[in-house]
Structure 1
């Protein structure tokens, strides 16, 4: 277990997948409803546990469940590469806890944990304006590419942060 400010970071194991999937489902569905007007939506397997089984349990990933006062809040998954151009694959917080600075604390922990990083790269849905605000205005990323800009549901923003 690692601690940053008031958050605990623990590795993700198979037994965590069900509860983390419930939180991930709420987070993605809230964004989809708010920005697309649809009841459900997210990456393949986000609501079945398959997304987290595939990515959080990947032996090449560094994945952490995040707890506040013993309560599970969300998770973060990163890939640390030999060239120090690292990838943030997923960061989410339970929507019940949004707007309390938890996401930013998670990101600061990741930056401190991997000080040799030269560049962080991530992707986020084009419709998720809250994510854009978080990554660009709070975390210091820059939008470097927009994929499939004519399709609101499939549009993807690629973001980078030079360290």
Structure 2
């Protein structure tokens, strides 16, 4: 499905090999900026096992993002239709395209594709200030909890966005 210039294609097993270096660049860029280390991300971000486990083998709904012919990132969502809740498990954009609006376009695609979901949740490291700006300032999430103690490198922000059903009908 094309949405505001990006093409969103359901993730397939063969996409893992294409997406893994994109994910690695995105997370390593974050690690350099905020963790003062050259590499870093969730377990398996750099060998494909994260995408295989969460994007292919889980109950998630996962999309590859294409800009023309180029694969630029992915998004992994967990949807509970019965309770009208969703969890953004992962979103990443290739490091050379961060800050160009593609992440926000991806989030708008999610809200457009799943208008019945009225509560979205996600989490992000407390130290990842760029993520805070994205989730809070761009996408409308709010911090609802901080887990993991006082160490900013260990703590995680729990975020939530509540969308009124009235807003979804306009």
- Corresponding residue of 1:69: 68
CA deviation string 1:32-62 (max 9, x = no partner): 1111110111111111111001100134110
1:23-34 matches, within 5 Å, as: 23-34=22-33
TM-superposed CA distance for 1:69, in Å, is: 1.1
CA deviation string 1:58-92 (max 9, x = no partner): 34110000001111110000011020111000011
- Corresponding residue of 1:38: 37
Matched pairs, number:
162
Give 3-state SS (helix, strand or coil) of 1:107's partner.
helix
The runs of at least 4 aligned residues of structure 1 exceeding 6 Å deviation read none
Q: Take 1:27 and 1:53, find their aligned partners in 2: how far apart are those partners?
A: 17
Give 3-state SS (helix, strand or coil) of 1:150's partner.
coil
TM-superposed CA distance for 1:5, in Å, is: 1.2
Q: Take 2:43 and 2:76, find their aligned partners in 1: how far apart are those partners?
A: 16
- Corresponding residue of 1:99: 99
Normalising by the residue count of structure 1, what TM-score does the alignment of the two structures yield?
A: 0.96
Give 3-state SS (helix, strand or coil) of 1:66's partner.
strand
> Structure 2: 5+ residue runs without aligned partners?
164-170
Q: Take 1:71 and 1:86, find their aligned partners in 2: how far apart are those partners?
A: 28
RMSD: 0.9
- Corresponding residue of 1:115: 115
1:1-163 matches, within 5 Å, as: 2-81=1-80, 82-163=82-163
Give 3-state SS (helix, strand or coil) of 1:109's partner.
helix
Q: Take 2:54 and 2:149, find their aligned partners in 1: how far apart are those partners?
A: 26
